Amino acid sequence: MAFDLNKNDGSAKETSNKTPGNSKFDLTKGEAAGTTVPANSSGSKNWIVALTGILIIGGGIWYYSTRSAKVSESGGAPQELAVKDTSSTIAEAQAKLGAGIASTKPRPESPSATTEPKIATSVTESAETAPAQPEAVSSNAAAVIKRLNNKIPATFAQGSASFSRIDQSLIKQITSYLSKNPASSIQVNGYASSDGSLAINQTISQARADAFKQYLVSKSIAQNRVVATGKGIENPIALNDTNAGRKKNRRVEITFP
């Protein structure tokens, strides 16, 4: 911005012989066309950049030279040293931890003869508490079965399911065997003579087998251990042509499966 300090206006120039002086003051900075920026400013910037680069390069050279010296002294790479140091530290920590765990665990008792009676006692106790298993038929029991099979413990009157004769000695042997062998069962087969129709004889033979079954139940033999089956006029033991023969055929027989 320029200010004109002359008091004369434009008409005074024509009457005055004096050359007008330059009374203008320019207050603008660097706005004139011929104004230039001093060169020393850009030079100082370049000098700072160069100095910074030199420092960086020198620091890098010093770092790598120091690192190489450490490598040459240790005989291995710094990473390898760090790994070795870390692994040794971990191994020491694991060893201490394992020692601490081992000290807290109870020591196993040394095997001795005193442990064997304990095992034997446990086996004995388990054998006592275990449910009884069916015993195999002994030779004595087999002999009893052979002697009792197909025996006739009772006979019946004509057309009746009531006993006309019962063999108490045979009953005692039957109940004794069943009591001593709780896993065994008995088969009771009822028979009839040829008198009457086949259907009636079948019904009577089943009634006779059922009657003898109930008799055994009254002697404390469980019902599920007695199987009663009516056989009709099958398997006669005597001729049905005579009264004596028909009387023998009205019977029950026992077998042991």
What pLDDT, in 10s, does the model give residues 136-188? 556 788 898 999 999 999 999 999 999 999 999 999 999 999 999 999 999 99
- Report the C-alpha gap between 133 and 235 in whole angstroms: 37
Residue 143 covered by a domain = yes
Residue 72 covered by a domain = yes
Q: What are phi and psi of 124, to 5 degrees?
A: -65, -40
Co-location of 68 and 174 in the same domain: no
Long-range CB contact pairs, 131-137, < 8 A, 24+: 134/183, 135/181, 135/183, 137/181, 137/184
First to last CA, the chain: 141
Residue 172 covered by a domain = yes
Query: pLDDT, tens digit, for every residue of 120-129?
Result: 444 444 444 4
Edge-to-edge strands, sheet with 226-230: 163-166, 151-156, 251-255, 186-190, 226-230
Co-location of 144 and 247 in the same domain: yes
- 232 conformational bin, left if phi > 0, alpha if psi -120 to 50, beta if neither: left
Closest by alpha carbon to 213, among 224, 228, 202? Answer: 228
pTM beyond cutoff 0.85: no
Concatenate the DSSP letters of all residues of 126-190 into one string. Answer: HHHHSPPPPPPPPHHHHHHHHHHTTEEEEEE-TT--SEEEE-HHHHHHHHHHHHH-TT--EEEEE
Per the structure, the count of domains in the chain is 2
Residue 239 covered by a domain = yes
CATH of the domain at 193: 3.30.1330.60
Identity at 195, one-letter amino acid code: D
Percent of the chain with pLDDT over 70: 55
Co-location of 70 and 146 in the same domain: no
- Report the C-alpha gap between 251 and 257 in whole angstroms: 20
Token reading at 21: 């002086």
Question: Which domain does 57 fall in, by range?
Answer: 46-77
Per-residue pLDDT tens digits of the chain, which is 257 residues long = 454 545 444 444 444 444 444 545 454 444 444 444 455 556 677 778 878 888 888 787 887 777 665 545 555 444 443 444 545 555 565 565 555 545 545 555 554 444 444 444 444 444 444 444 444 556 788 898 999 999 999 999 999 999 999 999 999 999 999 999 999 999 999 999 999 999 999 999 999 999 999 999 999 999 999 999 999 999 999 999 999 999 999 999 999 98
Please say whether the beta carbons of 193 and 212 come within 8 A.
Answer: no
